[in-house]
Amino acid sequence: MWGSKGCDKDKPDPSTVAEPRDQPIPVSVAPIHKKKYTRKSVRLVKDDDESGPSREQEESEPEVITRSLSLSELRDTRKDFSRLPGEHIITWLLRCWDNGASSLELEGREAKQLGSLSREGGIDKAIGKKAQALSLWRRLLSSVRERYPFSEDVLCRPGKWTTMERGIQYLSELAMREMVYYDPDNAQLPIDPDEVQCT
With beta carbons less than 8 A apart as the criterion, state whether 119 and 141 touch.
Answer: no
Check residue 151 and give its pLDDT: 74
Judged by average pLDDT, the poorest of 79-83, 95-99, 111-115 is: 111-115
Choose between 97 and 58: higher pLDDT: 97
Work out the end-to-end distance of the chain between its first and last CA atoms, rounded to an integer number of angstroms: 86
Check residue 16 and give its pLDDT: 46
d(CA 119, CA 91): 14
Domain ranges in the chain? 71-195
d(CA 42, CA 17): 67
With beta carbons less than 8 A apart as the criterion, state whether 137 and 102 touch.
Answer: yes
d(CA 56, CA 41): 10
- Which is it for strands 38-45 and 55-65: parallel, antiparallel or unpaired? antiparallel
Instruction: Tell whether the model's pLDDT for residue 139 goes beyond 80.
Output: yes
Q: What is the pLDDT of residues 9-68, one digit of tens each?
A: 455 454 444 444 455 444 444 444 444 443 444 444 555 555 655 555 555 555 555 667
Instruction: Tell whether the model's pLDDT for residue 100 goes beyond 70.
Output: yes
- The per-type count for the chain, helices as H runs and strands as E runs, is 7, 4
Q: Identity (one letter) of the amino acid at 182?
A: Y
Q: What is the pLDDT of residues 152-162, one digit of tens each?
A: 777 766 667 78
With beta carbons less than 8 A apart as the criterion, state whether 72 and 33 touch.
Answer: no
Coil/strand/helix, residue 106: strand
Whole-model pTM above 0.95?
Answer: no
Instruction: Annotate 152-189 with DSSP letters as a single string.
Output: GGS--------SHHHHHHHHHHHHHHHHHTS-TT-TTS
How much of the chain, in percent, has pLDDT values that exceed 70? 60
Check residue 85 and give its pLDDT: 92
Banded pLDDT at 172 (limits 50, 70, 90):
confident
Crossing angle, helix 89-98 and helix 164-180, to 10 degrees? 90
d(CA 139, CA 133): 10
Banded pLDDT at 78 (limits 50, 70, 90):
confident
